[in-house]
Structure 1
Amino acid sequence: MQKKSSKVGILIGILAVPTLIFVMLKMFGQNYYKLPYLMPEIDETGQVVIKGGDTVFHQIPPYKLIDQEGKEFSTEQLKGKIYVADFFFSRCGTICPKLSNSLSRVQSIFSADTNVRIVSHSVDPKYDSAAVLKKYAQKYDAKPGKWYFLTGDKKAIYDIAIKGYKLPVADASEYDSKIRSVDETFIHSEKLLLIDKEGYIRGIYDGTYNPDVERLIGEVKVLTEIYKSKK
């Protein structure tokens, strides 16, 4: 009985984290809660790039892909929006369902906030056509225009992951012909990235770990309040 009570207490504590962050932000003002900028630019010598005495941080470069509706998607659609990005594939039976469930929760929390978007990129675009992604999106009740599932040219997507979002991705079958399991074929990160309205990376979270997902939800609220305070 005592063990059960302890588990309930831990669960309540986890669920309360984003609410507490938001309430404290409201009480004490945005100056007490600032999100860092991540991924400083590095020059050819391995040094952090500094301009005018300030660190230069990496921004997500513009790109175009195809969404689950079969329409062209451009990062222009994300300008002025806060968004959460991840990489997955529909046939994945390991971490991807966990990532999508986590993002489904994020969508639910911010369903009415028109300034928050979710962008999921397939690392298996040959199989993940727009039609396949549309069926996958329906499985997680993804709202069109709110949560995008993207496919397109494989090399372009892998470049976007590695050079754009700074996340690892690989097709293991390209260097090991003995691989048969699809879950062993596509290597990608379990990370969720929080991107601000200017395309800077402001948070990195383990999408399979509930406390990290709750922290993400709290920090989306913090970032939203920071933007409101600038108006």
Structure 2
Amino acid sequence: MRSITKFYCATGLLLGLFSCKNNSQTSLPIYGEREAVEKTVDGKQIVDTVYHTIPPFKLLNQDSTMISDKDFEGKVYIANFFFTHCPSICPTMNRNLLKIYQQYKDNEEVRFLSHSIDFKYDQPYVLKDYANKLGVTNNHWQFVSGTKAEIYGLANQYLVYTAEDKNAPGGYDHQGYLVLIDKDKRIRGAYDGTNDEQVKKLMNDLPLLLSGAKK
């Protein structure tokens, strides 16, 4: 399991690069690179901040249906990267994510998105069987596959390290982060899915993000 620092180093970004340092627990940071841009509003030049966001995507889900970023419009969602025959961190990570799913599976504002990094084996029927055995009962949790370039490229956008590695358990090396994405497709948190305290923090942060989105 790679350290939290390497979560950001995977794409050359630094931990702590966010919109504001707010310790009041009334809002969550925004992670990733940001850029100041000038624009005209009501005839006046102002400086606005453009944040790192998850880019558009199209991937095949467990029902052999193509889904895209459009399916997550206006939703808060939790994303992760795994593979079905993973012998190390994936079972714990997804069991912990299941706890959150069970609390929010009927909430129309919340979605879950698991990307398989095994582009060779994890076909839709394999993902479907995995989802069923895990206990997923509706389409609010999507399991998706794609080409290596698509999935690994997206992992970089989520700031999660993934790689083929014949020396790693199961042949793949990856981080077990549960990445919290807001309704504007910005990264608002990353939590070690194998760590109970980190999962509890995610459970506390999710309603905070949902509450802030309604304001």
Task: Indicate the TM-score class for this superposition, using the shorter chain for normalisation.
Answer: 0.7 to 0.9
- Pairing of 1:1-231 with structure 2 (within 5 A): 33-41=26-34, 49-52=35-38, 53-162=47-156, 164-173=157-166, 179=167, 183-228=169-214, 230=215
Please list the CA deviations of residues 57-112 of structure 1 after superposition, one character each: whole Å capped at 9, or x if unmatched.
20000100100011001110000000000000001011000111011001011122
- Give the Å deviation of 1:32: 5.8
The amino acid across from 1:85 in the alignment is A
Q: In the aligned structure 2, how far is the partner of 1:189 from the partner of 1:32?
A: 26
C-alpha root-mean-square deviation of aligned residues, in Å? 1.6
> Could you tell me whether the CA contact under 8 Å between 1:40 and 1:55 is conserved in 2?
no
What is the TM-score with the length of structure 2 in the denominator? 0.81
Larger deviation, residues 207-216 vs 136-145 = 136-145
> Could you tell me whether the CA contact under 8 Å between 1:118 and 1:146 is conserved in 2?
yes
Distance 1:153 1:32, change over 3 A: closer
Q: Please, which runs of 5 or more residues in structure 1 have no aligned partner?
A: 1-30, 42-48, 174-178
Q: In the aligned structure 2, how far is the partner of 1:34 from the partner of 1:68?
A: 34
Q: In the aligned structure 1, how far is the partner of 2:195 from the partner of 2:122?
A: 26
Q: In the aligned structure 1, how far is the partner of 2:133 from the partner of 2:25?
A: 40
Greater C-alpha Rg: 1
- What fraction of aligned residue pairs are identical, expressed as a percent? 36
The amino acid across from 1:225 in the alignment is S
What is the TM-score with the length of structure 1 in the denominator? 0.76
The amino acid across from 1:194 in the alignment is L
Q: In the aligned structure 2, how far is the partner of 1:139 from the partner of 1:93?
A: 16
Q: In the aligned structure 2, how far is the partner of 1:215 from the partner of 1:118?
A: 17
> Could you tell me whether the CA contact under 8 Å between 1:99 and 1:207 is conserved in 2?
yes
> Could you tell me whether the CA contact under 8 Å between 2:84 and 2:130 is conserved in 1?
yes
Secondary structure, aligned partner of 1:77? helix
Q: In the aligned structure 2, how far is the partner of 1:203 from the partner of 1:159?
A: 19
Please list the CA deviations of residues 161-208 of structure 1 after superposition, one character each: whole Å capped at 9, or x if unmatched.
11x2121111124xxxxx4x7x25111111110000110000110000
Higher strand residue share? 2
> Could you tell me whether the CA contact under 8 Å between 1:39 and 1:57 is conserved in 2?
yes
Q: Please, which runs of 5 or more residues in structure 2 have no aligned partner?
A: 1-23, 39-46
The amino acid across from 2:146 in the alignment is G
> Could you tell me whether the CA contact under 8 Å between 2:119 and 2:148 is conserved in 1?
yes
- Give the Å deviation of 1:36: 1.0
Q: State the partner residue of 2:44.
A: none
> Could you tell me whether the CA contact under 8 Å between 2:85 and 2:170 is conserved in 1?
no
